[in-house]
Amino acid sequence: MVESRMSSTLSLEYEATFPEHLDELGLPVAVTALRGSESNRFYERHGFVYQDEAEWDINYIRQPRNHSA
């Protein structure tokens, strides 16, 4: 049970910094999520925008923010 709580804590800490890690790349990031998956809400919450979809998948893209070269 402790391991599960640690994993949840680490996940929440990573989620809090997820957008900043993407912005450091300075590139658009595209992801695909399985239709009906919890990951869809995660991506939308972090600025990914619906791009298109297929029978089983939904595709998102996120443009970098505040990136200075």
Whether 68 maps to a domain, the answer reads no
Please tell me whether the overall predicted TM-score, pTM, comes out greater than 0.95 for this model: no
Whether 69 maps to a domain, the answer reads no
Give the span between the Cα atoms of 9 and 49, in whole angstroms. Answer: 26
Per residue of the chain (69 residues), what is the pLDDT tens digit? 334 343 444 455 556 677 777 788 888 888 899 999 999 998 998 889 999 999 999 999 989 887 554
pLDDT at 44: 93
Whether 67 maps to a domain, the answer reads no
Whether 54 maps to a domain, the answer reads yes
Q: What SS3 state is found at 69?
A: coil
Burial of residue 58, with CB atoms counted within 10 A of its CB: 0-12 exposed, 13-18 middle, 19 or more buried: buried
Whether 11 maps to a domain, the answer reads yes
> Sign of torsion, CA 59 62 24 40?
negative
Whether 6 maps to a domain, the answer reads yes
Q: Provide, for the chain, the percentages of residues in helix, strand and coil under a 3-state DSSP scheme, each rounded to the nearest 5.
A: 45, 25, 30
List the domain range (segments joined by +) for residue 43: 2-62
pLDDT at 58: 96
Number of structural domains, the chain?
A: 1
